């Protein structure tokens, strides 16, 4: 039984079909990447799954529960954590406090939550910056903070929205390593990514979205050599290549 | 431990002040403490969760009128009356919060909702005979502890002082707790907080209820200090503005903001009120408020505290133990306009 | 309480609503272009009223002519306010923008109080007492004239926005500030003009309002709140919404006084505002949220 199952999801914005009949299955422990040109509807799917947007039709099943329509905080409590495409740190709080807020979900006392937060920060290499205000961090560090917060909620599945955008190749490799370790610890990863280097290195399976529809699914190699996928990204002229 | 010394010194001075200065000055300090208290109550909601309320008059009025009415009609001691007033205010706050948060009102819409409540409270009370209608309510002077009425203003000084200290302590505790961190997270980025499991609706409601309850207690104090209340002086948008001005000037979302703001603003306001009102220049202090609101938001959006915090801290922490004060900075959670 | 009375009050309310519409259009324009809610709107109107009042009392000029002066003066005031204050707070979070404008409102209202005292003033003008009959309903002429002129001004504004270059630039800036800048529109200048126009319309509305209600400084804050109700009802940023909202509120308030004392008529407006915010926050005609 898959950990997260999206069945026949539809989301319209007025006349615009942002997501059209999309179905995906993610098994526990795997890493599934969702790719596709800009505007294909990927973040919309994340927003529906995490409760930020209502769906017009379809189901989202997590474990055995139907989670479609739940509020974001309830979804997080169930074990689905997410990061945002444009990072959203709590700027006026310290790095440690940022993560403590997340840790408070499963740790009732402040002390426990802070300990958990410190562990997570250690894992992500942010310990030295724990007492800096989040506003003082550079972008790669902010991305790490974003990940730290999501991890501090002890999720079963992590939804990552373009975490690697804007990073240098070295930083990307570092992130991939981190995520690999996270995955080895048993956390399922569902990621939206444009950075193919990361996708290829990390994912076991890839699904491709174009204009709201899933047009391909399979291993990274299969998907990147798929005609329709190439056409979607690059246009017809590249097909012969 | 210079800090401890500093605060203890101030505490001692304030404690003995009434015996050192004139009756008039004591009166000013009572108002300083009173407004610092109210500002702190407002701070719990607005400074910490970021939902701006321009209608705290509703809570002040409920506290004032409940205490007055119960005392005048049933002889119930204001000490009890104010708790009842507080509970009613909390209930109204929860109702307002329910309407606002359930329907997703944020930013300006929430502000308008609070104004609507405060003004509705004012207008409706103006038409209720049992509550004094257009004349207002006079509290007869029967001094006794039970009646929460005292001769002279020294007892009031200590009560107001206690209220202020209490509110400081409470906010300090909240700041360090789960509640406080959730509040600030909501303020900084409500959606991101929700995605991390923060039940923002529940916490906003809690914030509003606490803020409302405490503000009402202030209203009860006011009733028994001034002995006269009128819907225009406790409900409505003008009293609401009085409440918010100190924390804004001092620094929203900081522990000492409302206190600093009150120490700066209240004497100024009282001075212009007494000095100019005599010459028939009624609204002058409001004009001053108006200018302050403009100037502070334009030039000092984080309030006075942001200017004195660093120099004061380095003064208090002795030499350059910088790292620790940066952490303190961060966890005070300064409000930044973004 | 007869149908006849209801009709009289209804029509009277509709006529007053015309002036309300003009007030609200100003507010909507300001919000549409700059995203700022002018909390001093009603107070600006009251200054327009005072200007028209003094021109009448000292020089005998009827408000229907002095409205040009009121509008002109407020145009200047609006321009200055925008340049010095509003311009700097354009990118602040909505709720923080509120504060300086409330401050401005306090300044305007209380300086009026300071200069001219709290007493109500109701100047007797040439047409003050004349009425005409519409069928068997008696209507005040000043109210009818106010209605007609208000609608005329609204119509002219509408034409201005639709047909002239500046008008189009304003609409462009309202729609997409960055885009407007990119095509070469001097957005700062447009902002100044828009706020000035918004202020001018409310100044003119003030002059029109003078024969209709007794003047006193505290009207300022009542009218600011009324303007908000209308704009929320009609939809923030929508000119049509402001028009329709104004008319609806005029009628609702007027009919409301049949059931509740006039001093409580704000209860009607606030309730409408709260209900709309809860159920349809974009108002009747949508617009930015």
pLDDT digits (tens, 9 = 90+) for B268-290: 888 877 776 655 556 787 888 88
Encoded tokens for B279: 């010459």
Yes or no: say if B24 and B198 are a contact pair by the CB < 8 Å rule.
no
Nearest to B261 by CA among B219, B218, B308: B308
A4-79+155-238 CATH fold? Rossmann fold (3.40.50)
Encoded tokens for A1: 């039984």
Yes or no: say if A11 and A53 are a contact pair by the CB < 8 Å rule.
yes
Residues 4-43, chain A: which have Cβ within 8 Å of B? Answer: none
**pLDDT over 50 at B335, yes or no:** no
Residues in chain A: 241
- Please compute the mean of the pLDDT values over residues C151-172 and round it to a whole number: 86
Distance (Å) from the alpha carbon of B325 to chain C's nearest alpha carbon: 28
Distance (Å) from the alpha carbon of A17 to chain B's nearest alpha carbon: 24
Q: Does A60 touch chain B (CB under 8 A)?
A: no
C27 or B301, which is more confident?
Answer: C27
For residue A128, the model assigns a pLDDT of 93
A154: closest chain B residue by CA: B196
Cα separation, C216 vs B292, whole angstroms = 24
pLDDT band at B338 (very low <50, low <70, confident <90, very high): very low
Helix (H) or strand (E) holding A19: strand A16-26
Helix (H) or strand (E) holding A11: strand A4-13
Domain boundaries, chain A: 4-79+155-238
**pLDDT over 60 at B324, yes or no:** no
C229: closest chain B residue by CA: B112
Identity of the residue in C99, C267, C274 whose CB atom sits nearest the CB atom of B293: C99
B272 or B241, which is more confident?
Answer: B241
User: Strands across the sheet with A65-66, in order?
Assistant: A16-26, A4-13, A57-62, A65-66
For residue C128, the model assigns a pLDDT of 67
**pLDDT over 50 at B333, yes or no:** no
Identity of the residue in B176, B178, B323 whose CB atom sits nearest the CB atom of A104: B178
Return the number of other C-beta atoms located less than 10 Å from residue B75's C-beta.
Answer: 9
Q: Residues of B with CB below 8 A from C279's CB?
A: 103
Q: Where are the beta strands (DSSP E) in B95-191?
A: 137-138
- How far is Cα of residue A145 from the mean position of the Cα atoms in its chain? 14
Low-confidence ranges of chain A (pLDDT < 50): 240-241
For residue B3, the model assigns a pLDDT of 77
C221: closest chain B residue by CA: B237
For residue B180, the model assigns a pLDDT of 93
Encoded tokens for A143: 């991305």
Residues C245-276: tens digit of each pLDDT: 999 999 988 888 888 887 788 888 889 889 98
For residue A236, the model assigns a pLDDT of 57
Yes or no: say if A117 and A109 are a contact pair by the CB < 8 Å rule.
no
For residue B261, the model assigns a pLDDT of 92
pLDDT band at B312 (very low <50, low <70, confident <90, very high): confident
Distance (Å) from the alpha carbon of A75 to chain B's nearest alpha carbon: 8
Minimum mean pLDDT range among A199-208, B319-328, C20-29: B319-328
Instruction: List CB contacts of B293: < 8 A, sequence separation 6 or more.
Output: B245, B248, C99, C100, C102, C103, C106
**pLDDT over 70 at B243, yes or no:** yes
CB contact under 8 A, A76 and B194: yes
**pLDDT over 90 at C47, yes or no:** yes
Distance (Å) from the alpha carbon of B327 to chain A's nearest alpha carbon: 5
Report the predicted TM-score, pTM, of the whole model to 2 decimal places: 0.87
Identity of the residue in B107, B241, B290 whose CB atom sits nearest the CB atom of C107: B290
Bridge partners of residue A32, in order along the sequence = A190, A205
**pLDDT over 60 at B136, yes or no:** yes
For residue C76, the model assigns a pLDDT of 94
pLDDT band at B325 (very low <50, low <70, confident <90, very high): very low
CB contact under 8 A, C267 and B290: no
Taking the CA atoms of residue B233, residue B235, residue B236 and residue B239 in that order, the dihedral angle to the nearest 10 degrees is 50
CB contact under 8 A, C264 and B123: yes
Yes or no: say if A190 and A34 are a contact pair by the CB < 8 Å rule.
yes
Mutate to test the interface with C, among B235, B287, B296 (most CBs of C within 10 A): B287
**pLDDT over 50 at C155, yes or no:** yes
> Taking an 8 Å Cβ-Cβ cutoff, which residues of chain C contact chain B?
37, 85, 88-89, 92-96, 98-100, 102-107, 109-111, 113-114, 118, 217, 221, 225, 228, 232, 261, 263-264, 266-267, 270-271, 273-274, 277-279, 281
**pLDDT over 70 at C101, yes or no:** yes
Residues B111-133: tens digit of each pLDDT: 889 999 999 999 999 988 888 88
Yes or no: say if A189 and A156 are a contact pair by the CB < 8 Å rule.
no
**pLDDT over 50 at C1, yes or no:** yes
Mean pLDDT estimate for chain A? 90
Distance (Å) from the alpha carbon of B157 to chain C's nearest alpha carbon: 30
- Please compute the mean of the pLDDT values over residues C188-203 and round it to a whole number: 90
Count Cα atoms within 13 angstroms, Cβ side, for A135.
15
Mean pLDDT estimate for chain C? 86
Yes or no: say if C173 and C44 are a contact pair by the CB < 8 Å rule.
no
Identity of the residue in B116, B287, B289 whose CB atom sits nearest the CB atom of C270: B116
For residue B322, the model assigns a pLDDT of 36
CB contact under 8 A, C278 and B99: yes
Question: Residue B302 has what DSSP assignment?
Answer: T
- Please compute the mean of the pLDDT values over residues C146-159 and round it to a whole number: 90
For residue B310, the model assigns a pLDDT of 75
Identity of the residue in C85, C88, C274 whose CB atom sits nearest the CB atom of B113: C274
């Amino acid at each position: 039984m898959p950990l997260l199952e999206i069945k026949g999801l539809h989301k319209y914005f007025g006349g615009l079909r942002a997501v059209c009949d999309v179905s995906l299955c993610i098994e526990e422990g795997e890493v599934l990447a969702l790719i596709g040109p800009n505007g294909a509807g990927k973040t919309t799917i994340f927003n529906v799954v995490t409760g930020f947007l209502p769906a017009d039709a379809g189901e989202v099943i997590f474990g055995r529960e139907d989670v479609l329509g739940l509020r974001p905080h309830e979804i997080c409590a169930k074990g689905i954590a997410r990061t945002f495409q444009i990072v959203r740190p709590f700027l006026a709080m310290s790095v440690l406090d940022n993560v403590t807020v997340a840790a408070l979900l499963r740790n009732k006392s402040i002390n426990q939550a802070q300990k958990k937060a410190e562990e997570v920060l250690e894992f992500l290499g942010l310990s030295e910056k724990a007492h800096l205000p989040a506003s003082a961090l550079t972008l790669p560090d902010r991305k790490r903070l974003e990940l730290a917060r999501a991890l501090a909620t002890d999720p079963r599945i992590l939804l990552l929205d373009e975490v690697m955008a804007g990073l240098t190749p070295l930083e990307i490799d570092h992130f991939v390593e981190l995520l690999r370790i996270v995955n080895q610890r048993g956390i399922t990863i569902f990621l939206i990514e444009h950075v193919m280097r990361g996708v290829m290195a990390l994912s076991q399976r890839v699904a491709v979205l174009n204009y709201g529809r899933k047009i391909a699914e399979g291993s990274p190699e299969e998907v990147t050599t798929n005609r329709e996928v190439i056409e979607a990204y690059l246009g017809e002229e590249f097909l012969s290549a | 431990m210079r800090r401890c010394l500093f605060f203890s010194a101030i505490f001692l001075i304030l404690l003995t002040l009434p015996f050192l200065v004139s009756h008039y000055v004591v009166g000013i300090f009572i108002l300083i403490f009173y407004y610092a208290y109210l500002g702190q109550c407002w701070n719990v909601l607005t400074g910490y969760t970021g939902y701006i309320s321009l209608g705290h008059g509703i809570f002040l009025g409920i506290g004032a009128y409940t205490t007055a009415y119960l005392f005048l009609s049933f002889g119930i001691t204001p000490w009890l009356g104010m708790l009842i007033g507080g509970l009613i205010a909390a209930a109204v706050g929860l109702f307002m919060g329910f309407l606002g948060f359930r329907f997703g009102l944020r930013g300006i819409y929430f502000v308008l909702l609070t104004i609507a409540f405060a003004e509705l409270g004012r207008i409706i009370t103006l038409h209720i005979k049992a509550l004094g209608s257009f004349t207002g309510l006079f509290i007869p002077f029967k001094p006794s502890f039970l009646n929460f009425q005292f001769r002279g203003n020294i007892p009031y000084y200590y009560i107001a002082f206690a209220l202020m200290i209490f509110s400081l302590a409470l906010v300090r505790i909240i700041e360090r707790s789960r509640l406080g961190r959730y509040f600030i997270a909501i303020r900084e980025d409500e959606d991101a907080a929700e995605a991390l499991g923060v039940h923002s609706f529940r916490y906003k409601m809690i914030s509003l209820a606490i803020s409302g309850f405490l503000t009402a207690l202030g209203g009860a104090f006011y009733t028994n200090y001034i002995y006269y209340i009128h819907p225009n002086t406790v409900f409505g948008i003008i009293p609401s503005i009085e409440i918010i001005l100190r924390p804004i000037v001092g620094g929203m979302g900081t522990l000492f903001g409302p206190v600093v703001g009150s120490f700066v603003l209240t004497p100024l306001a009282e001075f212009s009120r007494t000095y100019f009102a005599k010459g028939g220049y009624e609204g002058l202090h409001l004009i001053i408020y108006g200018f302050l609101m403009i100037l502070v938001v334009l030039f000092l959006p984080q309030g006075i505290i942001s200017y004195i915090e660093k120099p004061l801290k380095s003064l208090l922490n002795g030499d350059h133990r910088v790292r620790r004060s940066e952490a303190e900075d961060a966890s005070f959670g300064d409000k930044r306009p973004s | 309480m007869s149908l006849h009375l209801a009709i009289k009050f209804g029509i009277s309310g509709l006529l007053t609503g015309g002036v309300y519409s003009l007030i609200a259009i100003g507010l909507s324009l300001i919000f549409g272009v700059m995203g700022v809610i002018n909390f001093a709107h009603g107070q600006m109107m009251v200054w327009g009223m005072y200007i028209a009042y003094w021109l009448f009392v000292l020089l005998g000029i009827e408000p229907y002519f002095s409205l040009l002066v009121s509008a002109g003066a407020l145009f200047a005031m609006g321009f200055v306010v925008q340049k010095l204050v509003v311009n700097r707070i354009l990118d602040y979070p909505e709720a923080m923008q509120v504060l300086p404008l409330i401050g401005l409102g306090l300044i305007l209202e209380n300086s009026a109080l300071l200069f001219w005292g709290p007493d109500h003033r109701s100047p007797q003008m040439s047409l003050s007492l004349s009425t005409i009959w519409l069928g068997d309903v008696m209507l005040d002429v000043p109210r009818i004239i106010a209605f007609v002129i208000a609608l005329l001004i609204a119509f002219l504004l509408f034409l201005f926005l639709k047909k002239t270059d500046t008008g189009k630039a304003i609409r462009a800036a309202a729609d997409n500030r960055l885009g407007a800048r990119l095509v070469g529109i001097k957005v700062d200048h447009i902002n100044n003009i828009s706020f000035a126009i918004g202020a001018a319309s409310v100044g003119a509305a003030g002059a029109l309002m003078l024969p209709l209600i007794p003047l006193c400084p505290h009207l300022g804050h009542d009218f600011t709140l009324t303007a908000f109700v209308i704009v929320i009802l009609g939809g923030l940023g929508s000119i049509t919404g402001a028009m329709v909202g104004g008319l609806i509120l005029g009628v609702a308030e007027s009919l409301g006084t049949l059931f509740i004392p006039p001093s409580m008529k704000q209860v009607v407006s606030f309730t409408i505002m709260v209900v709309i915010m809860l159920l349809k926050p974009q108002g009747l005609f949508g617009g930015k949220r």
